[in-house]
Structure 1
Amino acid sequence: MVSSATDCDVLIIGAGISGIDAAYRVQEQCPELSYRIVEARERIGGTWDLFRYPGVRSDSDFFTLAFPFHPWRGENSIVDGDEILDYLDEVLTTYGIDKHISYRTRVVGADWSGGDARWTVKTVIDGGEQQIRARFVIVCTGYYDYEQPYDAQIPGRERFTGQIIHPQFWPQDFEPDGKRIAVIGSGATAVTLVPSLVKLGARVTMVQRTPSFILAEPRKDPVAGLLRSKLAPARAHQIMRVKNTALQWGLYQACRRAPKTMRKLLRSGAISGTGSETLVDTHFNPPYNPWDQRLCIAPGGDLFKALKDGGAQIVTGNIRTITEGGIELADGTTVSADVIVTATGLSISLLGKIALTVDGEPVNGADTVVFRGAMLSGVPNFAFCVGYINLSFTVRADMTARLVTRILKRLSGHDRSVVVPVYTGPHPDRPFLDMQSGYLRRGAALMPRSADDYPWTMAQNVVRDSWHTNRADLDDGLVWTKPRVTSG
């Protein structure tokens, strides 16, 4: 498929979990195609290379976060960040994917030419500009802004005499031991940081505006040990992956269908972990239902234990201001601190801030409609990957990669070289990642839209989504053509 006017058949942007998954599926299903991965950072890992704060770990079990084609052999089910990077390195070298990666290569723009059916991708490498020509582009940059996290605009920051740290830019020489640390936030990052900082000798106060639901899960899954003792690693991994996907799906469905019952169960678990009904009803009793926002995991109940043992405290309320010596809440409560950690959330950045154009016309993501969670209406020979919100990212990433390779096989095996999703219905208003979490609400205006039915949607329901995606009719919503003019 590659020609003298093309550097590669398939360009994959991003070497995190989804980029590695896409590369594996391309070389597995389309060995006749050349591919290249470009990565803006100096190493693989994406999110897991970006975040280096204490205790950083998977926020779901690793049997589902790991790849289905490479078994996880580690002891734990909830896995620390350095173990995740080691696993990804192992996958790269095992399958030879590392030979296809260019590091420190930031993509800043991509223009599709209908005349020769190719993308011209503009990159910056060590300060110099370079172009890459490709027939198909897959963007695997996730949906976080790696350079600029969300700024909650808390007043009084300039008055604080101590140190303010955002978890996205954690200083590696920081020593928490003996320090009074206020962690602002109630999401997954704060839930991870608080017990980790306590273990490192800090006195920690968790300052939250709105409580979150917290579910304690064991770090190790005893079923994994049993299966590994009886079965080959690949088979044991496959069963664990199916089991845990089903459990996560079941938990989500139970929360959506029986929120009162699940609220009671989550409350009961929190009381068991903290030993205090008052503390739970005050600080772990959100005004929304379970899974209206993301459910946070506490491995081994570590956050509950930190609160119960007194290493950490928690306060709930609106912040009035940061003061010279800490934080003042609207009700007058003060929190003294030497260090403030602003775990206040992330910013959305779909498609890695790439300036996307089709024959010179800019593409505005919000003007497009998502095709099966993997392509954009009106954008030819282009795919992107975003994982589930209510399940491990990789479950959806691998589903997307397998769908895209089906499309690539058809492109390379027939006398067609262009495929474009064409949406003809009324433009929908709903963003395709539709949940009440703060970072998703803030980024809703940037997102592609989602209709109610397939192929123009991506459900946060792995059973429904996998049924429609894995059995997708590639003539439903996709238009296959030859280039207008043949060149090169």
Structure 2
Amino acid sequence: MGSVDAPKDYDVIIIGAGLSGINAAYRVQTELPDYSYTILEARDVIGGTWDLFRYPGIRSDSDLHTFGFPWRPWQHSKAIADGTSIRNYIRDSAEHFGIDKQIQFHHKLMSSDWSSNEQIPTSPISHLSKARPSIRNSGPETSITPTKKIIIIGSGATAVSLLPVLIEKASHVTMLQRSPSYFISIPSVDTTSDLIRKIFPSWIASRLIRWKFLILPFLFFTFCRHFPAMAKKGLRKRIQEDLPPSVPLDPHFNPSYYPWEQRLCICPDGDFFSALKTGKADIVTDTITSVTTTGITTQSGQHLDADIIITATGLKMQLGGGAPLTVDGEKVVLHDRFLWKNTMVEKVPNAAVIIGYTNASWTLGSDTAALLICRVLKFMRDHNISSAAPTLGLNPSEQNGSASTGDKTVQSGEWRGMKEMAVLNLSSTYVEKAKGILPKTGDKGPWRPRSNYFVDGWGAVFGDLTTGLRFVPASATGKANRVDKKSV
């Protein structure tokens, strides 16, 4: 892998060499070929989440035709891919386009401060020793034997992908859930896509397949949101058909919410239900009261025997790797700030965050953000602008407007009365717990959250770039035409 060791200024700094980071790098080097950039990666490998997590059965819960890079089409027959395949795909894509040569491994962003006087960010970087050990195995495989009993706590994508693999290694596996999820079985190999590849040239086939996977899931999501009761009935009917007679539909598959208020659990070839049919796996819907030396005691009085307990209950969300962000020495509390077009943080110059979709492939949203960022950078370059910062209350006739975001509505400027909205539209527990740390969105103008890929993709390429942004001309700060540093 390439290494950029010499200290220097970069036009763009990207934090993280995962899926979103590699995609952002491609967009920068393609859209802004005269700009220098680097990727700072705290670990020693490309891949982000897909390299960090190595638990048995790890896979995507989105199809790779849309979860993959739009500039490097997924060519494999399996649309729902395993973690190893995804990790290799990210690495190969980075190497193919020379992105790997721009990565500085073992470099971790410690903090970031913007100086309004200097019009530059200062970002201390910790250079981690290359001799530092790297822990690769985050799964329990080495401790599992055919005599072991396992309890998986959780009912989301992680638990659903673990169970079919673990029954092959243990004597019995129990999925213990507090609340049920919706499940849907899909073929692991998309025969229609294979047929399209046989009929059309590769470049046409890739586009047709991608559009198929863009449109059909979007239509299904729209149906679920507009006809929730009908969608719930249909999903439960399909689940009932897949279940073995020994596993009741209620309470194990009766969520308290409607479809797509939380993500659906994807089961390639119905592998989850096939695991239940073996008799080596079961589901318990209950609440934990205590963990004992021999297993778990639940609120209903059951004691579930276990040699191994695996928690698959969601992650703690974090933006920017947890590095403190300040402007002129003042700490930025993200929860108190709004997002401009779901990408730039209010009153933070020349900085952007990558947030994908919750109701579609994450990469679709991260690519929309990357394209938008590149357009903003081009605009700044072409108009000799030193910095751009989203600002509430910034009307064409009110260049120094401001707004207080302490209440649930904005009280000044063009966005008076704007209602506060969550940046992620899911009711999942890990999303609910993150509301106190994530930025906010509104119900007006450029402060609205992303709605769907088709609208947002058009907006990223053709939409307005100036409403809600405050620009500082380079001439006003004594800067040259070329801005020295811009952070992504």
Shift of 1:99: 0.7
Q: Does 2:488 align with 1:486?
A: no
Q: Does 2:456 align with 1:465?
A: yes
Determine if contact 1:20/1:97 at 8 Å carries over to the other structure. Answer: yes
Aligned-partner Cα distance in 2 for 1:447–1:401: 19
Q: Does 2:378 align with 1:409?
A: yes
Shift of 1:277: 8.8
Q: Which of 81, 84, 96 matches 1:82? A: 84
Quick one: which amino acid aligns to residue 123 of structure 1? I
Shift of 1:117: 1.9
Determine if contact 1:388/1:460 at 8 Å carries over to the other structure. Answer: no
SS at match of 2:266: strand
Larger RCO of the pair (alpha carbons < 8 Å, separation 6+): 1
Q: Which of 367, 390, 415 matches 2:359? A: 390
1:4-403 matches, within 5 Å, as 7-126=9-128, 169-171=138-140, 173-276=142-245, 279-403=248-372
After superposition, what is the alpha-carbon deviation per residue over 1:452-473, rounded to whole angstroms, capped at 9, x for unaligned? Answer: 1231022343334334444321
Q: Does 2:445 align with 1:454?
A: yes
Determine if contact 1:371/1:455 at 8 Å carries over to the other structure. Answer: yes
Percent of pairs with identical residues? 39
Which runs of no fewer than 5 residues in structure 2 stay unpaired? 1-5, 131-135, 394-402, 404-408, 411-418
After superposition, what is the alpha-carbon deviation per residue over 1:361-401, rounded to whole angstroms, capped at 9, x for unaligned? Answer: 11110121101111011111111101101111111111111
TM-score by length of 2: 0.87
CA distance 1:219–1:454, change in 2 (3 Å): farther
Shift of 1:59: 0.8
Aligned-partner Cα distance in 2 for 1:199–1:269: 25
Worse-superposed segment, 310-319 or 410-419: 410-419
Aligned-partner Cα distance in 1 for 2:168–2:140: 18
Aligned-partner Cα distance in 1 for 2:212–2:98: 30
Which runs of no fewer than 5 residues in structure 1 stay unpaired? 129-166
Q: Which of 411, 415, 439 matches 2:430? A: 439
Determine if contact 2:155/2:177 at 8 Å carries over to the other structure. Answer: yes
Aligned-partner Cα distance in 2 for 1:302–1:196: 9
Shift of 1:244: 0.9
Aligned-partner Cα distance in 1 for 2:7–2:125: 17
SS at match of 2:218: helix
Aligned-partner Cα distance in 2 for 1:458–1:326: 43
SS at match of 2:143: coil
How many pairs does the alignment contain? 447
Determine if contact 2:319/2:353 at 8 Å carries over to the other structure. Answer: no
Quick one: which amino acid aligns to residue 83 of structure 2? G
Aligned-partner Cα distance in 2 for 1:270–1:213: 9
Shift of 1:340: 0.5
Shift of 1:250: 1.4
Determine if contact 2:152/2:311 at 8 Å carries over to the other structure. Answer: yes
After superposition, what is the alpha-carbon deviation per residue over 1:341-374, rounded to whole angstroms, capped at 9, x for unaligned? Answer: 1112211112210111112111110121101111
SS at match of 1:441: helix
Determine if contact 2:320/2:353 at 8 Å carries over to the other structure. Answer: yes
Quick one: which amino acid aligns to residue 485 of structure 1? T
Quick one: which amino acid aligns to residue 227 of structure 1? I
Shift of 1:189: 0.6
TM-score by length of 1: 0.87
Determine if contact 1:111/1:356 at 8 Å carries over to the other structure. Answer: yes
CA distance 1:306–1:5, change in 2 (3 Å): closer
Worse-superposed segment, 20-29 or 217-226: 217-226
Determine if contact 1:13/1:107 at 8 Å carries over to the other structure. Answer: yes
Determine if contact 1:431/1:445 at 8 Å carries over to the other structure. Answer: no
Quick one: which amino acid aligns to residue 472 of structure 2? T
Shift of 1:82: 0.5
Shift of 1:168: 9.5
Aligned-partner Cα distance in 1 for 2:245–2:365: 38
Quick one: which amino acid aligns to residue 17 of structure 1? L
Quick one: which amino acid aligns to residue 452 of structure 1? D
Determine if contact 2:371/2:460 at 8 Å carries over to the other structure. Answer: no
Shift of 1:76: 0.6
Determine if contact 1:378/1:421 at 8 Å carries over to the other structure. Answer: yes
CA distance 1:5–1:179, change in 2 (3 Å): closer
Determine if contact 1:176/1:197 at 8 Å carries over to the other structure. Answer: no
Determine if contact 1:271/1:280 at 8 Å carries over to the other structure. Answer: yes
